[in-house]
Structure 1
């Protein structure tokens, strides 16, 4: 994997974690970004070395999802199976879908297959194959709607 690809993959994973924290704890954006910049991105935590993330890309995802959350949630809601609501989704899963949807909406510089595959990879970090397939299906439907 090229260094930029690796740095972006790390940024995506960290962004999902930051969005989860934002959703669960309501941390102020400036505080949240500062905490991740200083303590998480490229840091070693409890013996785990975190890959150097592309900080500007990380910030872009976190701020972008936060700014367009209602629009993103509407887009995602329309692509869930009949009877499913965003509230029923696992909180981490919801952040993966939000970040992926935002990237498909806002980052035309990232090819559709790359964006989808990257968030499927993020899903694999937290879930089994079935959930990763779910991410693939939802983000594919989002991509068809926004690209």
Structure 2
């Protein structure tokens, strides 16, 4: 088992990947802000699940307290706070459809509830973007969430995230 990468290493890997498959309408600063928003959204969903807090409470907490801080030297203040809110609210609003789409891509007999809470949050955020943000290239979504998975897990889980989200992408985008 390999050690998970640091957030700084993941951010560097994402910057490299973005250079190859950039969202065409965004500047490099805007792409970085989206990456940080994605990371924060995963953290927010994880927090909601563990603490049982509501979506608006967690979004407000992040906007009031967390976006002024940093994680391992990565400033969350650079996050696209609007996109962060869009992801978190979108996942909660569409959670039933998202969970169905992700569950369809799990191995036979596996349930989403069996997965680690962070892994569920990663898959839900990625699936929401694939299903609800067609302007964001599939490759960008896959790269972002696979690299974020590497911040929390080893390579096996990152490959799992890639396979599951690639399946969701095929289902959602043809």
TM-score normalised by L of structure 1: 0.94
Residue in 1 that maps onto 2:80: 54
**For residues 42 and 114 of structure 1, do their structure 2 counterparts lie closer, same or farther at Cα, with a shift above 3 Å needed?**
farther
Q: CA RMSD in A?
A: 1.4
CA distance in 2, matches of 1:105, 1:42: 30
- Aligned residue runs from structure 1 range 53-72, under 5 A: 53-72=79-98
Residue in 1 that maps onto 2:56: 30
Residue in 1 that maps onto 2:132: 106
The answer to whether the 8 A contact 1:104-1:146 is kept is: yes
Q: Please, which runs of 5 or more residues in structure 1 have no aligned partner?
A: none
- Aligned residue runs from structure 1 range 1-147, under 5 A: 1=15, 2-44=28-70, 48-51=73-76, 52-147=78-173
* Per-residue CA distance 1:116-140 (angstroms, 9 max, x = gap): 1100011011001111010000000
The answer to whether the 8 A contact 1:119-1:135 is kept is: yes
Q: RCO higher in 1 or 2 (8 Å CA, sep ≥ 6)?
A: 2
Cα deviation, residue 88, structure 1: 1.0
**For residues 12 and 77 of structure 1, do their structure 2 counterparts lie closer, same or farther at Cα, with a shift above 3 Å needed?**
same
**For residues 87 and 60 of structure 1, do their structure 2 counterparts lie closer, same or farther at Cα, with a shift above 3 Å needed?**
same
Structure 1 moving runs of 4+ over 3 Å: none
* Per-residue CA distance 1:82-113 (angstroms, 9 max, x = gap): 12111111110000000000000001110000
Q: Please, which runs of 5 or more residues in structure 2 have no aligned partner?
A: 1-14, 16-27
* Per-residue CA distance 1:54-79 (angstroms, 9 max, x = gap): 01110000000000111111111111
TM-score normalised by L of structure 2: 0.80
Q: Give the SS at the match of 2:107.
A: coil
* Per-residue CA distance 1:28-68 (angstroms, 9 max, x = gap): 222211110111125246x7442310011100000000001
